[in-house]
């Protein structure tokens, strides 16, 4: 199943017919981006609840749901109506529990420094004393599993060092060196520098890591907020099937272009937009 739907992920009808094994996604953060302007705060919270209810309903038992979210919506100009410091991922955590999901991992994505481009801080004359805000240069990734156990009934136990380890990824097992980096909860990774085509992409490496950790070759990986198609591209590049939903026609078109490029590329490196982008997406 490889399917990219132009639709609204709040609607159960937009979802693929077959269940998926892993979701890797980043919802809107309610910070005033063009693609979320039409949501009131109440509608935004309801969006998260409706979409993740649908996601859980379409996930296999023991399947994983990885949600990247910046957590606090209250630092945005559009959120003046919101109580300071509201924690969106806490609301989401309560909701996931109600959907019979349990927390497996909480990862902190440590991004590059925000002060260089932010209009919220400045090191120059005319700043009032004691006025410095400390800016978040990190976001969360919450990984949930569906049901009572994170063990998928359809998968074997891995014996590291034997042929069986090949179930971990498409060509080889996750190396011990990568494993050591990936099981530590702070992941250092640059955010995507060029936002000309989409204003809030995550790096392909970000999706790739989650896919290698939480799915096996041949699984289906889903993204209900597909944007530019990063999750689908990363899934294809490591031998997974993909499915996604995007409601904006321009972003939907962008995602299909990016996916076609990945599907037609012969090597992983070629499937990135450019060698420059490949470098940007790698760890520091
Ligand atoms: C944070 S962006 C995701 C970016 C993506 N991870 C990437 O790397 O390109 C969120 C996306 O969700 C889409 N979106 C917002 N509300 C939606 C809805 N109800 N159904 C489907 N997509 C929606 C937006 O148009 C936007 O492209």
Burial of 179 (0-12, 13-18, 19+ CB in 10 A): middle
pLDDT in tens, 100-109: 999 999 999 9
Residue list, ligand 1 pocket, CB within 6 Å: 8-10, 26, 28, 35, 47, 198, 200-202, 225, 227-228, 230, 245-248, 251
Rounded CA separation 5/7 (Å) = 6
Domain boundaries 3-265, CATH class:
alpha beta
Mean pLDDT of the chain: 83
CA torsion, points 20, 29, 102, 159, in degrees to nearest 10?
60
- For a mutational test of ligand 1's pocket, the pick from 11, 226, 252, i.e. the residue with the most ligand atoms closer than 8 A to its C-beta, is 226
Atom of ligand 1 nearest to the CA of 226: 5
Q: Taking the alpha carbons of 276, 280, 282, 284 in that order, is the dihedral positive or negative?
A: positive
* 172 Cα–ligand 1 center, Å: 32
CA of residue 221 to ligand 1 center, whole Å: 16
Query: Hey, which of 7, 25, 35 would you mutate to test ligand 1's pocket, going by the most ligand atoms within 8 Å of its Cβ?
Result: 35
Which residues, in sequence order, are CB contacts of 269 under 8 Å at separation 6+? Answer: 275, 278
pLDDT in tens, 64-94: 999 999 876 644 545 555 555 567 888 999 9
How do strand 138-146 and strand 101-110 relate by DSSP bridges? antiparallel
Instruction: Spell out the domain ranges in the chain.
Output: 3-265
Is residue 244 over pLDDT 50? Answer: yes
Instruction: Give the per-residue pLDDT at 276.
Output: 39
Tokens of 138: 């990190």
Cα–Cα distances (Å) from 15 to 26, 63, 154, 249, in that order, read 17, 16, 22, 17
**pLDDT one-digit tens code per residue, 140-199:** 999 999 999 999 998 887 766 655 555 554 445 677 788 889 999 999 998 886 567 887
């Amino acid at each position: 199943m490889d399917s990219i739907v132009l639709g609204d992920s709040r609607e159960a009808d937009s979802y693929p017919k077959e269940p998926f094994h892993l979701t890797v996604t980043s919802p809107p953060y309610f910070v005033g981006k063009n693609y979320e302007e039409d949501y009131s705060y109440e509608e935004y919270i309801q969006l998260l609840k409706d979409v993740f209810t649908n996601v859980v309903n379409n996930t296999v038992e023991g399947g994983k749901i990885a949600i990247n979210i910046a957590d606090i919506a209250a630092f945005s100009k559009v959120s003046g109506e919101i109580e300071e410091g509201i924690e969106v991922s806490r609301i989401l955590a309560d909701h996931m529990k109600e959907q019979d999901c349990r927390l497996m991992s909480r990862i902190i994505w440590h991004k590059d420094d925000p002060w260089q481009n932010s209009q919220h801080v400045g090191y120059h004359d005319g700043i009032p004393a004691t006025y410095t805000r400390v800016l978040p240069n990190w976001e969360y990734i919450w990984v949930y599993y569906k049901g009572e156990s994170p063990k998928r009934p359809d998968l074997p136990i891995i014996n590291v060092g034997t042929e069986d380890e090949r179930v971990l990824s498409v060509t080889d097992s996750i190396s011990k060196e990568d494993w050591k980096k990936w099981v530590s909860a702070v992941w250092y990774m640059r955010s995507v520098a060029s936002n000309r085509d989409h204003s809030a992409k995550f790096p392909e490496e970000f999706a790739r890591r989650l896919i290698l950790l939480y799915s096996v070759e041949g699984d289906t990986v889903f993204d209900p907020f597909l944007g530019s198609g990063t999750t689908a591209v990363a899934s294809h590049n490591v031998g997974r099937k993909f499915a996604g939903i995007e409601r904006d026609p321009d972003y939907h078109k962008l995602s299909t272009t990016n996916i076609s490029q990945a599907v037609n590329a012969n090597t992983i490196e070629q499937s990135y937009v450019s060698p420059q982008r490949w470098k940007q997406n790698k760890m520091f």
